[in-house]
Amino acid sequence: MSRGYGAIPATTPVATALYVVTGLIVLAYSIGIAVVGPSMYADQGTGFLVLEAMKRGGPFNTVPIPDPADISRDLNFFVAWWSPGQYLVPGFFLALGFDLGQAITLTVTLCSVAGLVGLHLLYRSWGFPPLSIALTLLVLAGSRLFSHQFAYYGGGEIILFALTPWFLLLLFRMREFTPGQALCVFAAIAVLTVAKLSGLVLAVASIAALQIVDLRSGRPGKMRRLVTAGVMLAVFGIAFKILWLSRGETPTSHSLAVFSPERLLTHAIPSFIAGFTSILSIGDFMTAALMHPKYGVGFIETRASFYLLLAIPVGFLAFFVGRQISRSHPAYFQFAAALTVIFALIMTAVFIRGGEVSLEDRHYRQIGLVLAIGVVHAVLDWRPAFKLAIGGLALILLAYSATTFAAKLQRHIASAKSSQGFRHMVLSPQAMDFIRKNLTTPPKGTSLLVVPSAEIGLEFPGRRIVEIPANFRTHDDLRTRYSYRGRVDRLGVLVQTEDVENGKAALVLAAFKDYPLNGWTVTPLGNTTYYSQGQ
């Protein structure tokens, strides 16, 4: 990809200084979260519950859940919604003797470093100069998407960040698509998919973009390479359907299967815009500023709205950057443009079919990693006034990232810390103290504990657990989605106290049809309330 650019110049003192600053950012984030302890979302909590079940001899990627027809019995549930990479990578460090908090910290730190090193090599392969590369890496390391992963473990997202540049480097090396190379790329696609299911989308879009660029070239054997790539993707798609999609629900399982003009209008343009906004996490910043119930002004109700507001400025940015980069780095421009268009089209297709995938910067981060170097390199050649404006915006967003990271650490310090080394998002120290004194010993028989967020279940190894995330469900969802029959030796229900006040807790209790509503023993625990029936 870098042929025709001549020798890449040696690094400059300014570039070296930028590399040092980037390394210090990673070091500061790593030390901060190592001292305080990382947190996680319920999605990742589910993954670690799967890992615990597998350690006890359960089937691969399967977690036991109570049978809704009789809660005294368990069913094995295959967790197809999320990829196993989110727990397999930290699981490696757990096997080495680290606790879960340390395993998450090591995973995030090493994946961040691996991703930045891979991006450095990828950008060099495209012939970009050291200053452009160093500044791009600093911008990416200073973004909110980067700092957030140190505070809240995002599972497959950080692992995919680490793998993306290395996959692209491999793809360019294997671009002849001989049978042996096709097998290597096939294995790499499998690794991406295990890391995060959307890694498959990145792989398909990257291979398609490479083939489009190849068809425009004068290289012989174009049809052979195209057919080989097509057959490889078809075989992988069939295997993925049989081995994964057919075994459980995924974010695309509930697609409407009909064309939705409304979702096409609201999501097609944002799908192109988000690749650019993900570079500086502009979409995340606007979500906090315009939509957050506590901090935002609240006059925009959907993410699609502000992506549409950004369509014109981002369109101008893409036009001027593209015109400039197409002349200085034509091979990079062709691949990046094709990749952006194809990825956006795939995501648009998911949206208009009703797939349960949110419109957020994080889902377009891999495209932003490719676009970032072109944008930064182009801006460095702009007039001082334009560079000053773009640089000022970048500094604001980088300051936003660092500030929010510090705020997240403060929230972590005030929250309960698990004996496994991570911080809870839901439990207060008071609730954690009650749990340790009363609920951690696995009871005999069929006793069941309901938790409001899956990661809380990690406090109860060996206990039967079911998650009902009332805080993230509407009242109608709680009425229609959850219904359980049968009785157990003891039924305990943990809910957030705010859900007691808004009526959602009553709907959680009512989901257990064979338990009288007036038979619950109530134990207030600050921000959490515990209900129980039975011995």
- Residue 327: count other Cβ atoms within 10 Å of its Cβ: 9
Residue closest to 235 by CA, chosen among 174, 185, 279, 293: 185
Q: By the 8 A CB rule, do 267 and 358 touch?
A: no
Read out DSSP for 368-414?
HHHHHHHHHHHHTTS-HHHHHHHHHHHHHHHHHHHHHHHHHHHHHHH
Residues of the chain with pLDDT under 50: 1-7, 293-297
- Residue 429: count other Cβ atoms within 10 Å of its Cβ: 14
In a domain, 435, yes or no: yes
Give the pLDDT confidence score for residue 6 in this predicted structure. Answer: 43
In a domain, 206, yes or no: no
In a domain, 216, yes or no: no
- Token couple for 99: 């606790």
Which range of residues forms the domain containing residue 478? 429-534
- Token couple for 281: 């996490």
Give the pLDDT confidence score for residue 297 in this predicted structure. Answer: 47
Give the pLDDT confidence score for residue 292 in this predicted structure. Answer: 56
Phi, psi (rounded to 5 degrees) for 35:
-75, -45
Question: Which tens digits make up the pLDDT trace of 430-467?
Answer: 888 888 888 877 777 889 999 999 999 998 888 899 99
Count: domains in the chain: 1
Give the pLDDT confidence score for residue 393 in this predicted structure. Answer: 84
- Token couple for 183: 């097998």
Give the pLDDT confidence score for residue 7 in this predicted structure. Answer: 47
DSSP three-state, residue 491: strand
In a domain, 482, yes or no: yes
- Residue 223: count other Cβ atoms within 10 Å of its Cβ: 9
In a domain, 183, yes or no: no
Give the pLDDT confidence score for residue 300 in this predicted structure. Answer: 60
Question: Which amino acid, one-letter code, is at 55?
Answer: K
- Token couple for 247: 């075994």
Phi, psi (rounded to 5 degrees) for 19:
-60, -40
Give the pLDDT confidence score for residue 387 in this predicted structure. Answer: 84
Give the pLDDT confidence score for residue 385 in this predicted structure. Answer: 86
Residue closest to 112 by CA, chosen among 168, 163, 188, 40: 163
Q: Is 383 left (phi over 0), alpha (psi -120 to 50) or beta?
A: beta
Give the pLDDT confidence score for residue 390 in this predicted structure. Answer: 85
Residue bearing tokens 């930045």? 116
In a domain, 523, yes or no: yes
Instruction: Tell me the C-alpha to C-alpha distance, in Å, between residue 297 and each of 96, 206, 292, 479.
Output: 47, 39, 8, 31
Say how far apart CA 124 and CA 48 lie, in whole Å. Answer: 37
